[in-house]
A = this chain, B = another copy of it.
Amino acid sequence: MLEHKERLRKLRAELKKRSLGSILVTNETNVRYLSGFRGGDSFIIITPDSQFFLTDSRYTEEAGDSIGGFTIVEVTTSIYDSLSGIVKKSRIKKIGFESMNIPYEVAGKLAGCIRPAKLVTTKNIIENLRAVKDSKEIEAVKRSVNVTKRVLKNIAERIRPGVSERSISDSIECEFIRHGARIAFETITACGKNCSKPHAHATKERIASNDVVMLDMGCRLDFYNSDITRVFFIGKVKDKIKEIYNIVRSAQAAAIEKIRPGIKISEIDFAGRGYIERKGYGRFFGHSLGHGIGMDVHEEPSISKRNNNLLRSGMIFTIEPAIYLPKFGGVRIEDMVLVTDKGCEILTR
Q: Does residue A155 face the partner (Cβ distance < 8 Å to B)?
A: no
- Contact assessment for A56 and B287 in the assembled complex, using a CB-CB cutoff below 8 Å: yes
B105 and A197: CB pair below 8 A? no
- Which residue of chain B has its CB nearest to the CB of A326? B61
Bound form: Cα–Cα A121–B108 in Å: 11
A97 — which chain B residues lie within 8 A by C-beta? 104
B residues near A302, Cβ cutoff 8 Å: none
Stretch binding the partner chain, chosen from A170-178, A251-259, A263-271, A308-316 = A170-178
A198 on the B face (CB < 8 A): yes
A59 within 8 A of B: yes
Question: Nearest Cβ in chain B — how far from A107, in angstroms?
Answer: 4
Interface residues of A in 48-105 (CB under 8 A from B): 56-59, 61-62, 76, 97, 99-105
Please tell me how many copies of the chain the complex holds. Answer: 2
Q: Is A39 an interface residue (CB 8 A)?
A: yes
Contact of A105 among B40, B57, B123 (CB under 8 A): B123
User: Min CB distance, A281 to chain B, in Å?
Assistant: 13
Bound-complex Cα distance A57 to B287 (A): 7
Q: Are A199 and B287 in contact (CB under 8 A)?
A: no
Interface residues of A in 4-48 (CB under 8 A from B): 38-40
Q: In this complex, what residue of B is CB-closest to A171?
A: B177
Q: Is A346 an interface residue (CB 8 A)?
A: no
Minimal beta-carbon separation of A88 from chain B (angstroms): 23
A96 to B218, CA, bound (A): 37
Are B198 and A58 in contact (CB-based, < 8 A)? yes
Kindly supply a per-residue 1/0 record for chain A positions 107-136, scoring 1 wherever the CB is within 8 Å of any chain B CB and 0 otherwise: 100000000000001010000000000000
- Please tell me if A286 contacts chain B, counting CB pairs below 8 Å: yes
* A100 partner residues in chain B, CB cutoff 8 A: 103-106
- A174 (CB) vs chain B CBs: closest residue: B174
A327 to B65, CA, bound (A): 11
**A160 contacts which chain B residues (CB < 8 A)?**
none
Q: Are A39 and B99 in contact (CB under 8 A)?
A: no
The reply to whether B101 and A103 form a contact with Cβ atoms under 8 Å apart is: yes
A201 at the interface (CB under 8 A from B): yes
A241 CB within 8 Å of chain B = no
- The answer to whether A199 and B39 have CB atoms under 8 Å apart is yes
Q: How far is the CB of A243 from chain B (nearest CB, A)?
A: 21
When distances are taken between beta carbons in the complex, the residues of chain B under 8 Å from A286 are 56-58, 76
Chosen A-B contacts, 8 in total, with CB atoms closer than 8 Å, are A40-B199, A56-B286, A61-B326, A99-B105, A100-B104, A103-B104, A174-B174, A174-B178
Chain A residues proximal to chain B, CB less than 8 Å: 38-40, 56-59, 61-62, 76, 97, 99-107, 121, 123, 166, 170, 173-174, 177-178, 180, 182, 196-201, 286-287, 324, 326-327
What 7 additional pairs, Cβ within 8 angstroms, besides A56-B287, A101-B103, A104-B107? A57-B198, A58-B198, A61-B326, A99-B103, A100-B105, A166-B180, A170-B180
